[in-house]
């Protein structure tokens, strides 16, 4: 049984990740507008109609910008910690609290949250599972913790933050306070921190790594790709763009095995996903 995943957008201009089985889908974060979310799903041959829930990592605007408009149109249940909900001042949403490591079932998907260090009120990341496959979202993480390692080691695929190149950040024009915020342990992971997590804790069955939340000013796809392509060990490296969606990928329990076609609810014109 495969899970099907895509990044709809990844970066400081908005974050949104699609994870689905053949019968249900969820979004992790809703940082782009409702219209743009619909447009990008439609280009993948998908639709909001099978999105059963939205899970929110934290209250920063690049993770919740699209929530009001999506909620107004679709009334999709939103899973968000109480502290994050209060900080975000979201009103009129169907919101449900979650607790770390407490499983939440959405159809045949199981979602577990785990705490991460970030400069937000109550930040969490998520593992999404069916009976056979685990997909993790690891973004907006200040440093590598035991929670991060424990969950990364279980993943058949992961969205992993690779936010900045340390030399570009140090030499760049950001004020020193902002540089310190990014690198002080409660900001973002550098390319080298992400690479170390991957090298040290990649499970042998991890088939895909989606490098995410790349900084526009302090990183580049070329730097990230060159670094990780030398470390792949059979894992396919995908750069999640800040400007467009990725392809829809099938993640199965056997790693890079036979690709299962997506049979979920689709838009009127389904694209060739593989």
In a domain, 258, yes or no: no
- Encoded tokens for 227: 């670094």
- Encoded tokens for 176: 């020193």
The predicted structure's pLDDT at residue 274: 32
In a domain, 13, yes or no: yes
The predicted structure's pLDDT at residue 271: 39
pLDDT digits (tens, 9 = 90+) for 148-191: 999 999 999 999 999 999 999 999 999 999 999 999 999 999 99
pLDDT digits (tens, 9 = 90+) for 179-236: 999 999 999 999 999 999 999 999 999 999 999 999 999 999 999 999 999 999 899 9
In a domain, 25, yes or no: yes
Q: Domain holding 135: CATH number?
A: 3.60.15.10
In a domain, 37, yes or no: yes
What is the share, in percent, of the chain residues with pLDDT greater than 90?
89
What is the domain count for the chain?
1
Give the list of residues 6+ apart from residue 167 with CB closer than 8 angstroms, or none.
none
The predicted structure's pLDDT at residue 142: 95
Whether pLDDT at 268 is above 60: no
In a domain, 264, yes or no: no
In a domain, 114, yes or no: yes
Confidence of residue 15 (pLDDT cuts 50, 70, 90): very high
Confidence of residue 267 (pLDDT cuts 50, 70, 90): low
The predicted structure's pLDDT at residue 273: 41
In a domain, 263, yes or no: no
pLDDT digits (tens, 9 = 90+) for 115-140: 999 999 999 999 999 989 999 999 99
Confidence of residue 26 (pLDDT cuts 50, 70, 90): very high
Name which of 162, 262, 154 is nearest 205 in CA terms.
154
Give the predicted TM-score (pTM) of the model.
0.94
The predicted structure's pLDDT at residue 256: 56
Q: How far apart are CA 46 and CA 42, in angstroms?
A: 5
Residue 66 domain boundaries: 3-251
In a domain, 7, yes or no: yes
């Amino acid at each position: 049984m495969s899970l099907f995943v895509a990044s709809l957008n990844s970066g400081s201009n908005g974050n949104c990740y699609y994870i689905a089985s053949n019968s249900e889908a969820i979004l992790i974060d809703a940082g782009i507008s409702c219209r743009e979310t619909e447009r990008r799903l439609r280009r993948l041959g998908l639709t909001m109609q099978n999105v059963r829930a939205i899970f929110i990592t934290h209250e920063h605007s690049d993770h919740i910008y699209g929530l009001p408009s999506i909620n107004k149109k679709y009334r999709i249940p939103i899973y968000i910690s109480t502290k994050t909900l209060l900080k975000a001042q979201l009103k009129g949403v169907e919101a449900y609290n979650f607790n770390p490591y407490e499983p939440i079932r959405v159809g045949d998907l199981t979602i577990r949250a785990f705490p991460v260090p970030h400069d937000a009120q109550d930040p969490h990341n998520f593992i999404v599972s069916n009976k056979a496959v685990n997909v993790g979202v690891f973004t907006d993480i200040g440093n590598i913790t035991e929670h991060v390692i424990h969950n990364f080691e279980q993943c058949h695929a992961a969205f992993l933050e690779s936010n900045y190149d340390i030399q570009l950040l140090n030499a760049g024009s950001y004020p020193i306070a902002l540089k310190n915020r990014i690198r002080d342990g409660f900001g973002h992971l550098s390319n080298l921190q992400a690479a170390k997590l991957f090298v040290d804790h990649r499970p042998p069955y991890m088939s895909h790594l989606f490098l995410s939340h790349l900084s526009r000013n302090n990183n580049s796809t070329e730097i990230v790709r060159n670094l990780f392509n030398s470390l792949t060990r059979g894992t396919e490296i995908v750069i999640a763009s800040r400007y467009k969606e990725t392809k829809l990928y099938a993640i199965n329990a056997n790693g890079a095995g036979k690709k299962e076609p997506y049979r979920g609810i689709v838009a009127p014109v389904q694209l060739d996903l593989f």
